[in-house]
Structure formats: C-alpha cells, structure tokens
Structure 1
C-alpha cells in the first residue's frame, strides 16, 4: 500500500492524519503496524477501532496471521465479552464502544500512544463521539497522542477539516469487478423506509439471482441482505444447492460460527451476510457479490418516542463498498438486484446516525464528558434540536441528569452499563424487583433484540434458556450485565411472566399499555395506540402489558406491537410513577360541561369522580374551547343576526377598516368578550341558547361609520317599480352581493346599482315573469345594448301580455 511514508510524515509533523483509501487496499492491516513502528521507541500501544465486534476480532486475527502469530501476542483484541491481549501486545483492535468506555473512565488513555479510527465514514454515533472526544483529549491533556482516522469515501475531506489534519489519499488497488443488473419484476422490490420486513417474493428473487451468479461466475459468493431475518430467509431458499455450502454471517452469531464464515472452506461457499461484511472484513475466496440493495437504518418518531429500524435503499457509496468485496483476490462480478436507472437515484452516502437515530445514549455520553449539548466538541454534524431535547427529557425522567443537564451519580452508574440508558435503568432498578439474575437476563434479551415468537417476550426468554442459536451470546451478555450490579433477591415472589414484564416496564415506562374498552387494542402511557399483529395472539387481551418493541408506520392509527410481556397494575404504577398525576378536567362535551377529577398514568385514565364545583375560569375556558371546536353554529343565530354578520363581512372585505373582521377565527379569538356574557355561568346548550348574538354583533359595529350601514350595504334595494327586493350577501364577505328581480322591474335602470361607496356592483339575477332565470349580469348597460335583444325576442313570444320595450332604460 502506497502512502505509508506520507502518513508517517504527517504524524511526525502534525500528530494526526486522515487516510482515505477504498476497500481492499489493506489499510486495516497495513496502517496499524506503520503507526506502531513510529511509536516503538517511546513505547505505548496502538489502539485500532472497528465499528463491530466481528470486524475487530477478524482484523486482529488477520493481522496476527500475517505476522505468523496467534491473537494475544503482538496483536490482540478487546470486544464486549471477549478479550485477547498480553504483555507484549502492541496493537489492540477494539470496538468503538470499548474505546468510548475507556475514554470516559480516563481521558488520558494511559499506556496508549496512538489511536487509529477505522471505517469512520460509516458515521455511527459511537464513532462520531469517539472522534470528537479524541480531538478534545489532544487539545487538552494529550497533545502527544497520535490520531489517525481512516475513511473509504470522499467524506475524508470533511474529517480532515474537523481534525485540522492532512488527508493522505491512497489510490485503490482492487481487481476489476464486472457489474450485472438484476432488477426484480415490477412491484416486487420494496420501496423501503416503512418497515423492517422485506417481501418474500423479493427474497425469492435474491435467491434466484444467487443461483444464476453461481452458474455464470467462478468463486465463492457473498450475498448482502439487510437483516438477520433476511439472512435466514435467503439461506432457506438456497437449500439443495449441490456442492455448495451456505453459511450465515451477522453480529448475533456466536464467535465460532462467525469465524467459520470468515474461513475458506473445502467446498464452494455462499456467505449470506448483513452489512457487517461491507468493510474491514475479508471473506476469503469471494469473487461474486450479490447485493439485495437494501440497508437497515435507525429512525425515531420523536413525537411519540418510538425508535425503530427501517429498511431503506442502500447508498451508492455502500453499494460500491459491497461490490469491492468481489475484487479483493482477483477479478470478480457484482450482481445488483436493482436497475441501472435506479442506481442513479440512490443517495450518495448513508444518513449519519446522528441525524436520524435516538440520541438518548449519545446525550448520556455527552453529559458524562461534561458537555451536555456537545457545543464544545468537534462533531461532524450537529445533532438535531428536536432529537436532542427529547433525549434530555428522557435522561431527566430516568434521573440520569439534573435540571441543568449535568450528569448525576445515578447517571454515572447508568453510563457504566454497556447498553441504552433505558436498559441500564431497567438493570439497576430491576435487580430489586426481579432479582439480579433475572433482570440481567431480560436486559440481555432486549439488548440483543432476540425475536419473540408470537410477540411473547416471556416465551423468548424460555427459548434462550433452553439453548439454541442465540443462547450462547445471550447467556454471556446476561452474565456480564449481572456482574455490573450488586447481587439482589427479588423483593416480591414474581413469576417469570411478571418479572419479565416488570423489567420491560422499567426500561420503557412510556410503553406500559392497558387494554382499551372493547378490547382489540391498547393505549400506551405515552398516548399512542398499539395493537398486536393478527398472527401474534399469545398476549392479546391481557389487561396490562409492557411493550418491549413497537413500531408505527406513517399514516396508521395504531403502532404495531412486536414484542411484549404481561405486567400487573401495581408494577405498572411503580414503573411509571413519574407519569402518575391527578388533575381536574373541565370540558365541553355533547353540548354540556363535564367536570371530573381524573387520575391518570400518562394518557391512561385510571379513575374519575365528578366535580361538584368546577373552577369558573376552567368552565369559561371549556365553553370557549367547545365553541372553537364545534364552531359558532352552536350559538342561537337568528335570521337578523345572520344577515347583519354577512353585511358586516362584506364591508370588511370591500372597505377594510374600520369595519371589523367577523369571520369564525376572529370571533372565536375572544369569544367571551365579543358575546358580552360570563361563560363561566354557562353549563349547557340551554345556557348558550340565551345568548343575544344580534346584540353582540351590534356592539361590534364601528361608530360613527356604522351610521352609513344601510347606505353602504343595504338590506334591500329599491327598483324602478317601487318594490325593494332583498340583497343576498355571501357567508364569507368575499362573494359578490346578489339581487334577484324580474326583468321588467329593471326597466328604467341604465346601469347596475353599486354598493360600498360604488366599489362593488350588484350581481343581478334577472328573472322571467314566472320567476325563472333569464339572465345574470353585473354590467346592466352592456346587457341592454347586446344580449337583451335576443332575450326580448324570446320572452315576447312566451309572455305576450307583458311589455317588452325596445329601450329598456325607459320605463314603459
């Protein structure tokens, strides 16, 4: 790999550098030894981060193998639950989370001479935080600490600016990769962004593409799908391939099975993987990549506090990284399950997690660092304000931060738990409720996102206790979590069912839910409705549940419950005690005041008793709110009141000031003052029926201008025959006033009458003697001189007893 000399020069001169090199150039195994050689004289270890445990272990094993050693000698690794380092270890591969914990414990990083941050372009929250913390450490306590950030994309320029570091650009050295486009039939490819699932027909297409690729190209195949469920689905569809081994690769697999996927086999292989294989990892023997073109990314509904994973289209940069896996060992081929035209519309880069993910854990790290909003840190992107505020609110509710946002002693204890702060709270408090062991078991279950059969998390716990694919990693995680809390025996004799529910309730008190009247769906403490899928009947109908995993699609009324556990009412009240409140509610409901003292758990109503003497100001506000909701039609509008309001609305539109706005919004803005009544005395529709609406409108008339009301907007207009038909004004005042009259009644007028000081002509509806429409005009003079002749000719024959003068401007 070229560029190592430029890197060494940059580190000697500046102490920091950004390495930009495409996947496959060997930066993960070549840069750390070069940095270690640079610091060899001064001593100290080189720590290299990887975004995932599987990548850290694999990179350590690969580099150790290149040195002819075993892991734990010159090269070691430390990941959650697995540590292999020794006194002679000079290069240590760790996950970003492990380094983050070390920085929080001791920012000076004793014994560490250099840090190499690999795959920073992935923009995971831990990576962004670690980068910002290391820049802060170099600026304050360790200016001798060497820092290298390695990126596989053009984002390296931005990182160089943040680090104030030179960018060492290393050209790629991959073998050529032939592109094949394999789009599915129309309507099969998911649009993404809405759900975790992928349609079965699309998995059928991916499996068919794998079979075609194996027939067309040599070598092993690496298949990219978005999640564990899709890995298993594609593997099932590839059952029966002759002389080919199909193996899985994802983060939930035990280390032994991950190592198996990363080891060349005796036969041709198909490795079906999640995004863990996009970068850093080398899967030997791969010359074919089949890319489903999908990725799973976090999203958060900030308004409802519902984090979720959604399936989205892969970005172009990620697609290039995936394709590059086929060209590491020789010429290869990539088969993309989308079209060339679709490729042009992919986003350039994946969205950084800081822009879309839940930020509660991120903000706890910031608080523990002493900078709750991160204003003093070199973050590549500022966190969104709404997500930041929601995270601060959650941390305060958990007792992790105080009113100023500073971390509390409880928050520091939570920060020591390598899990989301909500799960940390469940572990710490759940030990007293369910016992240390069971609390740790449930938290491990939630942290590993173990799938619950039928949505039943208790069944999932029993399943992993019996063994199975997820049992080993779950058991190890539970043991680690249990070691972080003092040994506790449950305060009460809870069954497993209720113990699981209690721990889930402590983790997510806003997701405690009670069955709605009539059954079928639940209402969560947070105020969001939730329902089980029809295929998950195990817990449906229980009076109280604690929901572990829930997802709400845009445009749907209720969220979908993916996993939950039963909980009793007492446990629910204890877990969500911060949401318990008693309030006097006074509302206008079905034409009357309803006053109650209500006890609620968040949005869930627990009990209610009538209020005999509700506060007068609350009654007035309820009546005003009821009028605002139901509209002014609830008032007793007489014909005279309606007519006056329309005339006033017309003048407001035609003349403006001083004629007031009498539209609904304007009148409702100060309804009690306008009506001139004490709304606090109103108790029902009968009270509203006594309101004098006409008198209230008259009080709004602007004097002395109101003295010309009949002149500017007359109720009636006198016509040449002496009669005075009524003027019809529109509801909003923007409509042109209408005067309906017989055509003969207009003989003698030479022009259209005009209102509002001559600004608005009447719209004349001219009628036959039988009062049927003859013509409509707002320009009578033009009508007389033109269309009238045709109308006259028709009407003379139909109504011969009536006079039809040739000159209609003269009365006959």
Structure 2
C-alpha cells in the first residue's frame, strides 16, 4: 500500500512536472534539490512510473556514492510503496544484492555501476539513470557520468540521464551534459541558528590521519552542552571511525540518552537504528556519510567538529591514504542543514567565527587529489587511456595520470607505449579491486591457493580496525576468529574474491619462479600478497629503520610486532607530525626470496660510482630499487661513470671543489657583472648554470679526473674562458666592458672589485683622483669610487666625482689635512694634479 501522505509531504514533488518536461525535450536534466526534499526517494519512483498514472513502467537505476546510502535509499523507497526491499525496489552493492524479477528501481553504488558499464555499455533494459549527490565529486561518480554521456552520444541517445545535486554547482554539470536544463526544487528546511563553540585553548591542526585529542575532548564537551541546552536528538560530525570511537568513549554513560555510531563500516542493525526514530533521546556520532545521503530523523541539534577525510597521494614517497582536512564551507552548510529538517534547530560549530571565511568553498574533487590508478585502468578499458576523450568536470592531473600509467604498466594491465588495456588489464578491472590488489590476487593464487590469497587481499581491500594490530598475519588471524562487523564483511569479501581468483598462472612479476608453495603459513601468505601489491614498498632493515625499494625510510610504531623483522612489505604507512620517516601502520614480514620475486622488475645490477663521504666510491651493486642486496668494490670503473660521480660531487659540494685563484674569482665576478648588466651573450656563471653547462667548460679536464683531488687541480679560470662569447666576437670586448684594472689620473692601475654585480667598486687614494671630473663608467654603469685616506682607510664614497669635488671634498680636507700634513690638500682638487706621492716627494 503506497504511503501517499508521506509522498505528498516531500517538497520535490512540485518540481516533477518540470523534470519530466526537461527529459521529454532532451533526455538529460540537472536536478538541484536540498537534502530532505525527496530527490533520492520520490524522484526515482516518479521516473519509474510507480506512483500511479497511465504511463508505462520504466526501469530506473539510481547511483549512490556510498553503500550505506544505497541500502538506506532502497529501504525508504520500498517503505513508501508499502513493500519489502527486493520487490519493485532493490539494491546492489559490492558483496550484497537484493533484487527480484519485479524490480524496476535498482539502487547501486557508483563503483558497481562503473563495473556494469564496462560489461554492458548499452545498459540494456535500463531507461533512466539518476546520479545522486554529484556535488560530492567522488571519483567513481565523475567516471560514471563521463561513461554515461559517452553512451548517450554514441550508442543510446534515448537513455535518460539525471544528475542530482544538493548544492548549486549546477552550471558546470549542465554544461558537461550538453546544456542540460536545470530543474530546481525548493527545500522545506526550517531555520538553523549557529552557535560558535571554539576550544578555549588552541589545538594542533590535523596532520595525516591524526586529530589532536584536545579537540576531541572539546567536541565531547560541546555534545554534553548541546544536550543540556537544547531538546531533540544530537547529530555530531567527526572525520572518521577512530574519532567516533574516541568521542563515544569520552561521552561515557549519558543516562537515558543512547549513543549510536554511524559510518560505512557500521553493522546494518546500527544503520537501521540510526535511520529509525526510537523512544529514547539519541546522540548520533557520524562521518560525512550523514551529510547529504541520509536523513536522520529526530535531529534538532548538530555538533560539527569541522573536519573531513579526503584522499591524498604522495607520488614522491609512493604513499597514498586518507588525510584529515578542514571541512569546506559547503560541507558545513550541508551538515548544519541536518538540524532543520523537521523543525527549527541549532548547529554548534567547534571553531571560531573568524575562521569560517578562510575555509575552502567546496571539497576537493577526488580526481584532483586521489590515486588515479584504478581510474586510469577504467579509462583504458573504455578506450581512452589518457582520459582525454571523457566528459569530465575536471581533467585529471598529468602527474597523477603518469604515475598511474607506471603502476598499470608494471602490473601488466596496459601496454607500455600506447597505454592500451591488455587482456590481463581487463581481467583486473572486473575484480572490483584496486589494480595493485588485483595483481596480488591473481599472481598469489597459484602460489598460496586462491582461498588463502583471497583472505589476505580482502584484509587489504578494507583496512582492518586498529585493534587488529599492524602485523598483517596477526590481523588475518583476528579476522578469522572475529565476531565484529569488520570480520563479517571480510568473510563475505573472501568468498567473492575466492570465486574470482580461480586457477591463475602468475605473470608479470619478472622475478623468476615463484617461491615454494609448501611454506604457506599465515606469515608467508600475507607477505607474498603484500609484496605483490606494493613491490616498491618492500623494505629492508638498514641503520635502525627500514629502507623501502622506493627510497622512502620507515619505522615501526611502539610495541609493533614487526619491529625486529629484517624484511617487511609495507601495505599502509603514514608520516607522523615532526617525524623524518614514514610509520608502518600495516605490514607483513617477508624474506629476501619473496622480495626478489615480487619486486623482480625492479632488480638491477651493475657498476656504480657515487660521491660518498666527500670522495668517489666505485662499486658493483645488486639492488632492488634503493635497497642494496650485495656490494663489492671495483678498481677501474668506466670513465663515464667516474665523470658522472664527479659531477654529483660538484652538485653536492659546489664548484668550490675546483681551483679558484684570485684571477679566476675575478674573471667569474666580471662575467657575472656583464651578465647582470647586459644579459646575453654574456654567460650565466652561477653555480647552477655552471653545473648545467659542465660539458662545455670543464672538458677535457673533467674527463681526465679520477678523484676529488683531481678536481682541486682544475684551473677554474682557464676553464671558464671557454664560456666567453667567442662566436659573435663579443669576447674581445671583455677588457673594454669590464677591465680587471682601471688607470686613474695618477697613472696607477687600480684593481676593480666586481663583487656586487649591481655596481663595480674602485678603491683608490683620494690624491690619485685629483683633476678627474667624470666618474668612470663600465658597461654603462658609473663606478662606485671609494676614496681612501693616505693610510688606505675609507674617507668618502661617491658615484659622482664632480659633485664630490664641489660639495663633499671641503669637509674631508678639513678632517684629514691635520693628520696627514705631508700630503697635498689643494683647495681646488678638480684643477689639481693627481699624485701618489707626498709633498716632500713632489718638491724633489
């Protein structure tokens, strides 16, 4: 029995005629409807023709970004129809499916829909696809939108497509979908009053996954304050599962108030309890899953910690993970709106009002910040390896796509040159796993059996709870005996992956025969799987820490079961505040045989000459990436290697390793002056520029050098002359434009100081400049004249001699002639004869 009263109360109902008209006209539309208006529940039923009327019943697929939202939406729609899930409304998420022969509205996750499109690009039998919560900009959602637009343009122009958003980023989606009409539904939310509740003392900003415990203590106190000051249920937003558990512990027993924890890993019973009003007052501690996809009834108060989790990838260190960030203003608005769904409400924001304006406007699109390996594989399977042919709101960053291509090439998923997907890549794409984990499943199955490989891969596909420990073998045993929600999901995923692994032959490892299967205990199994999934994170103990194949150093946490292992395969790592190395959060013990096999493509050996300890060191090295397996010294390395080693030394310690006498330093300063004043063709003689052109000015001397001492024998001044602009004839003007010495009126030739490229300096005794009216110029720049006393001490500085003789000389003469009576001090220096002698010498 259809619940007409509940359907009539949903505000989006007024927008349905406009939505139908937009779809009839062009087949695409953007629906903007605030949370709680019914866009997720009423609109699909309307599009399917399940609300009565004479129109035909059509099949509708609704794509949600999260599993919990997909289940909740299906349950709510089934309830509105007076049915059970699996009848006319069903859902499909990874590892769970509730649909039947009568199902016409199916709610799926965006990840499931990506897989479905790869298998059946036409989506045979589907009439309408509704992409929900597109404003959240999840990578799978952007991918699905791009694929669906391609399907409409090339295969099925009759397929209707609706992009539904809770915020007003409608213009971008409209343009992406070929100018789709924007249909707006008015919300029926009640006013929400903001209460600013910052901590009394500053808290440390989030770093990686870490949140300052002082902030969580403050959030718990704000929840208690809200319970005391307001009525109704309290919804508290926190960034992750760990923070939810911490605040729940801080709240403790709250009398007659029930504390519920809702997140993607929460048991279905807890999720149902959150979405169903009860008799007791409730505090619901939730992640961002409750921002827009779920309506939590009974909420009158929101407490917002102001934090969120977003994916980040560090390509330099080869590590990717979720990281804690400040939530955007758009997220803050979404969260606050939860308090005004059913009545006027309040939002307690745990930060200062002045901070609010400094927050980013919107969350970062995942395509801009996440690991793009899985996306790149899906794009390659779709026929667009570089994603340039896909309709995307934001183009994927070139660096992230290049890193993704490297991983896909290494696991044999794409061809090295063209980027086209291989048969192995297509198989990997159908596993519903990150390509790294797919590679580990397929290549480990023949070594440790499909079931054992599936157990370890399932453990890595959803990171186990912290209480399982950082040792994958121990975590595997905990999952097997566990009765918690994680263990239940793990068992379900093991069954799925076991059936997919089947009989596989290891391929693409590049390390020769696989290690013997007879050793397949838990430690061995998880080690093989982790090493295959993350070969560049295999690490060997070195100088008190582990050195990964990638070159990143890592350490174990306090009390780690991995601490004494000589070799580990690191599955998850982060970098604590102020730490110089990564910290292993999840890893497995391996041995050198497994390391060599799994990372075989990274093995290399050969002669190396490196700069170490201030000297050249020549060795023959076997290595896995940055990890040295075996080393022996060599006596006669190839000249090219020696040359590169010497250049490395120059880069590290600078060109000061060469012999720079006074003439060489002077020439370099003169050239630097001309470069600064005149530019080309005068050469750049900075350290960086000299090293970049070492081939031009240090040959053949560098080619003949064999050790550090040989560098010190290279005459840098003579070598530097090779950089002079000989070809154009400008080199011949060096002494004219920047002479080493200047002749002054006394006849002396005084050295010019070019230490400051802005202006050369001439330091000369004052009497030697008598009679000179014009200040000397070099390369058009007036020389800065330091006029010295007879004892060689500074008496005056001028860049305008004529002005000095008129205005400054009188004071200098009065000060110095009493101290130096034997030297000439004429009243008119401009007309006097310059001299380097005293009066007595002059009289002779």
TM-score over 0.5 (shorter chain): yes
- Compute the displacement of 1:530 (Å): 2.1
Partners of 1:87 and 1:323 in 2: how far apart? 41
Match of 2:314 among 301, 324, 330: 301
Given that 2:304 and 2:347 are in contact with CA atoms closer than 8 Å, whether structure 1 keeps it comes out as yes
Partners of 2:608 and 2:702 in 1: how far apart? 17
Given that 2:530 and 2:588 are in contact with CA atoms closer than 8 Å, whether structure 1 keeps it comes out as yes
Partner residue of 2:175? Answer: 161
Given that 1:654 and 1:756 are in contact with CA atoms closer than 8 Å, whether structure 2 keeps it comes out as no
Partners of 1:20 and 1:281 in 2: how far apart? 17
Given that 2:675 and 2:683 are in contact with CA atoms closer than 8 Å, whether structure 1 keeps it comes out as yes
Match of 1:637 among 651, 657, 660: 660
Partner residue of 2:327? Answer: 314
Given that 2:738 and 2:779 are in contact with CA atoms closer than 8 Å, whether structure 1 keeps it comes out as no
Partner residue of 1:749? Answer: 771
Partner residue of 2:827? Answer: 806
Q: Which deviates more from structure 2 when the two are superposed, residues 212-221 or residues 460-469?
A: 460-469
Partners of 1:52 and 1:706 in 2: how far apart? 70
Seen in structure 2, the aligned counterparts of structure 1 residues 688 and 202 have a Cα distance that, compared at 3 Å, is closer
Partners of 1:53 and 1:257 in 2: how far apart? 14
- Compute the displacement of 1:778 (Å): 3.8
Partners of 2:392 and 2:739 in 1: how far apart? 69
Specify the SS of the correspondent of 2:103: coil
Partners of 2:732 and 2:73 in 1: how far apart? 91
Given that 1:752 and 1:778 are in contact with CA atoms closer than 8 Å, whether structure 2 keeps it comes out as no
- Compute the displacement of 1:488 (Å): 8.2
Q: Which deviates more from structure 2 when the two are superposed, residues 523-532 or residues 490-499?
A: 490-499
Partners of 1:512 and 1:462 in 2: how far apart? 22
- Compute the displacement of 1:619 (Å): 3.0
Q: Which deviates more from structure 2 when the two are superposed, residues 653-662 or residues 498-507?
A: 653-662
Match of 1:480 among 474, 481, 496: 496
CA deviation profile, 1:683-706 (whole Å, cap 9, x unmatched): 124434544555545677778887
CA deviation profile, 1:525-575 (whole Å, cap 9, x unmatched): 112222334x35432242211111123479864323222221111111111
Partner residue of 2:556? Answer: 532
Partners of 1:58 and 1:672 in 2: how far apart? 68
Given that 1:544 and 1:567 are in contact with CA atoms closer than 8 Å, whether structure 2 keeps it comes out as yes
Partners of 1:368 and 1:152 in 2: how far apart? 31
Map 1:610-649 to 2 at 5 A: 610-647=633-670
State yes or no: 1:274 paired with 2:287. Answer: yes
- Compute the displacement of 1:66 (Å): 1.9
CA deviation profile, 1:6-29 (whole Å, cap 9, x unmatched): 222223332332221100111212
Seen in structure 2, the aligned counterparts of structure 1 residues 442 and 615 have a Cα distance that, compared at 3 Å, is same
How many residues are treated as equivalent by the alignment? 803
Given that 1:752 and 1:762 are in contact with CA atoms closer than 8 Å, whether structure 2 keeps it comes out as no
Q: Which deviates more from structure 2 when the two are superposed, residues 757-766 or residues 255-264?
A: 757-766
- Compute the displacement of 1:725 (Å): 6.2
CA deviation profile, 1:508-530 (whole Å, cap 9, x unmatched): 111111122x21x2221112222
State yes or no: 1:22 paired with 2:34. Answer: yes
Normalised to the residue count of structure 2, the TM-score between the two structures is 0.88
CA deviation profile, 1:404-441 (whole Å, cap 9, x unmatched): 11211111111121221111111111223333223222
Partners of 1:537 and 1:224 in 2: how far apart? 31
Partner residue of 1:761? Answer: 783
- Compute the displacement of 1:168 (Å): 1.6
Seen in structure 2, the aligned counterparts of structure 1 residues 762 and 428 have a Cα distance that, compared at 3 Å, is same
CA deviation profile, 1:548-607 (whole Å, cap 9, x unmatched): 112347986432322222111111111111111123323455565433332221121222
State yes or no: 1:580 paired with 2:603. Answer: yes
Match of 1:737 among 736, 744, 761: 761
Partners of 1:344 and 1:712 in 2: how far apart? 57
Seen in structure 2, the aligned counterparts of structure 1 residues 805 and 549 have a Cα distance that, compared at 3 Å, is same
CA deviation profile, 1:354-387 (whole Å, cap 9, x unmatched): 1111111111111122222233322222211111
- Compute the displacement of 1:390 (Å): 1.3
Partner residue of 2:273? Answer: 260
Specify the SS of the correspondent of 1:59: helix
Partners of 1:707 and 1:91 in 2: how far apart? 85
Match of 1:788 among 809, 813, 820: 809
- Compute the displacement of 1:57 (Å): 1.1
Partner residue of 1:284? Answer: 297
Q: Which deviates more from structure 2 when the two are superposed, residues 214-223 or residues 320-329?
A: 320-329
Seen in structure 2, the aligned counterparts of structure 1 residues 212 and 790 have a Cα distance that, compared at 3 Å, is same
State yes or no: 1:563 paired with 2:586. Answer: yes
Match of 1:776 among 755, 779, 797: 797
Given that 1:727 and 1:737 are in contact with CA atoms closer than 8 Å, whether structure 2 keeps it comes out as no
Partner residue of 1:510? Answer: 536
Normalised to the residue count of structure 1, the TM-score between the two structures is 0.91
Partners of 1:758 and 1:106 in 2: how far apart? 75
- Which runs of no fewer than 5 residues in structure 2 stay unpaired? 1-12, 506-515, 834-838, 840-844
Map 1:424-435 to 2 at 5 A: 424-435=438-449
CA deviation profile, 1:247-278 (whole Å, cap 9, x unmatched): 11111122222222222223111111111111
Match of 1:101 among 96, 115, 124: 115
- Compute the displacement of 1:708 (Å): 7.7
